[in-house]
Amino acid sequence: MKYISTRGQAPALSFEDVVLTGLAPDGGLYVPETLPHFSQEEIASWSALSYEELAFKIMAPFVDGAVPDAELKTIIAESYSKFRHQAIAPLVQTGHNEWVLELFQGPTLAFKDFALQFLGHLLDHLLEKRNQKVVVMGATSGDTGSAAIEGCRNCDNIDTFILHPHNRVSDVQRRQMTTVIADNVHNIALEGNFDDCQNMVKASFGDQSFLPEGRQLVAVNSINWARIMAQIVYYFYAGLALGSPARPVSFSVPTGNFGDIFAGYLAKRMGLPIDQLVIGTNSNDILHRCLSDNDHSKHQLVHTLSPSMDIMVSSNFERMLFDLYDRDGDAIRNLMEDFKSGSMNLDESALSKARELFSSYKLDDDETLATINELFETCEYLVDPHTAIGIRAARATRRRQDIPMICLATAHPAKFPEAVRKAGQETDPQLPHHMNDLFEREERFEVLPQDLSAVQSFMQQRIRS
């Protein structure tokens, strides 16, 4: 299988090369040239598979032999061996035909573990095979950073640099990153917001001349195709658990960077019978505005109680646009040029397709807190603010009560105690046992100005020879 750029001016790459490349040289994102498609009979035959066994079935066609099957199975097994629940992605019922898919059972208590545990083990395998050393550089609005660090901390061939917006992630999220004391792990607190961090990363990928000879940057945020690929699996897993493919299912996803719900869209195209895909946003509602009003313009970023979604530039939306515009790279390149100036508008055909595929809903902080409280009052189930947004969006937009609605729980509530307290809970949610000393651990991070040369100089001085 080959991978092509959404902007149409970069050479097609193999799976191995696309994992190690990140952004395409033309500024686009890589997507598979073709998607595998599974028949209803084949999907039905997977109903008894474990999460790891299902992951192999879903991912093997994308890998296409770049990693031998036996080694791919080992990588998958190692990736999910640290998850705290045997089901890996358990379902909890919260209402009539309404389910929460708990994606926070991994080592850093967030859905990012599903992709980044896998990506870390995959990178280790590929780099060892190639006798190559790389530099991982990533931006995080909260959860990606800790999951990336956890996935790469034991990789001898990787130096890891993670940028987070200074004082704009929760204390738990920050400490999960900054208490990993290792020679190959470096945390940068950037004086800016998440989009500023992401712009630094994109600029560095665009010009890597600051790196030592023989090194290259590797992406761990959701521009890396391997992350999207790994996230497709839990859509199939949840659907099978609730009777698919014999009956359809729907999903609601709290959405910032569009990678998680894009994986759901791909699952639908690959054969999973999905009736409805719901986008839930906080006050940073560019995706909701795009779908409802064809207004894809940058507004001032608002800092909310759901900080992992405090994003105004949803990078993965470009992958969706590529399909909405019938894979026309020139059209996407022109759209992205428009967006650089602050806004873009979809043509009527693309907008109509998007509205057929997705529903959307926006919540402010007060509505988010009310949802946390309501859920606890009605079924004694405590959720974090991001998950609350997904649940309220599902309830507000749901079309059919006879189809199971699966709401993705993207983080453990203990990562956001401030929001839980504001929702009316008298005690903070408890961190799991393996993390109960988090606030006693030593922290290490560097506060840097919003200056690309300062960030790159910091990296230069710390990349190991």
Q: How far apart are CA 396 and CA 130, in angstroms?
A: 50
Q: What is the pLDDT along the chain (465 residues), one digit of tens a residue?
A: 999 999 999 999 999 999 998 789 999 999 999 999 999 999 999 999 999 999 999 999 999 999 999 999 999 999 999 999 999 999 999 999 999 999 999 999 999 999 999 999 999 999 999 999 999 999 998 788 999 999 998 888 999 999 999 999 989 999 999 999 999 999 999 999 988 998 999 899 989 999 999 999 998 888 899 999 999 999 999 999 999 999 999 999 999 999 999 999 999 999 999 999 999 999 999 999 999 999 999 999 999 999 889 988 899 999 999 999 999 999 999 999 999 888 899 999 999 999 999 999 999 999 999 999 999 999 999 999 999 999 999 999 999 999 999 999 999 999 999 999 999 987 889 999 989 999 999 999 999 999 999 999 999 999 998
Of 267, 257, 269, the closest CA to residue 323 belongs to: 269
Phi-psi label, residue 92: left if phi above 0, alpha if psi -120 to 50, beta otherwise? beta
Q: Is residue 299 part of a domain?
A: yes
Q: How far is it, in rounded angstroms, from Cα 101 to Cα 386?
A: 13
CA angle 263, 11, 271 (to 5 degrees): 25
Catalytic positions: 112
Peptide bond into 68 cis (omega under 30): no
Confirm whether 137 is domain-assigned: no
Q: Is residue 135 part of a domain?
A: no
Please give the C-alpha separations between residue 464 and each of 160, 185, 461, in angstroms, as whole numbers.
11, 11, 8
Residues sharing a CB contact under 8 Å with residue 355, sequence separation 6 or more, in sequence order? 291
The span from the CA of 436 to the CA of 317, in Å, is 37
Contact 172, 431 (CB under 8 A): yes
Determine, yes or no, domain membership for 339.
Answer: yes
Residue 406 belongs to a domain: yes
Residue with tokens 């945390």: 187
Q: What range does the domain containing 401 cover? A: 91-107+225-422
| C-beta separation of 188 from 164 below 8 A | yes
Distance CA 365, CA 284 (A): 11
- Does some domain include residue 268? yes
Per DSSP, helices labelled H in 158-257 are 171-178, 194-206, 225-241
- Structure-token match 């640290």, residue found: 82
Tell me which residue of 95, 110, 111 sits closest to 371, measured CA to CA.
Answer: 95
Give the residue ranges of DSSP H helices in 224-347.
225-241, 259-269, 286-293, 317-324, 329-340
CATH number for the domain spanning 396: value is 3.40.50.1100
Residue 368 belongs to some domain of the structure: yes
Looking only at the bridges linking them, the beta strands covering 98-102 and 91-95 are antiparallel
Dist CA 176 CA 444 (whole Å): 11
CB-based contacts of 20, cutoff 8 Å, min separation 6: 123, 126, 134, 216, 218
**Left, alpha or beta for 443 (phi > 0: left; psi -120 to 50: alpha)?**
beta
Q: How many domains does the chain have?
A: 1
In a domain, 174, yes or no: no
Residue 90 corresponds to which tokens in the numbers above? Answer: 């358990």
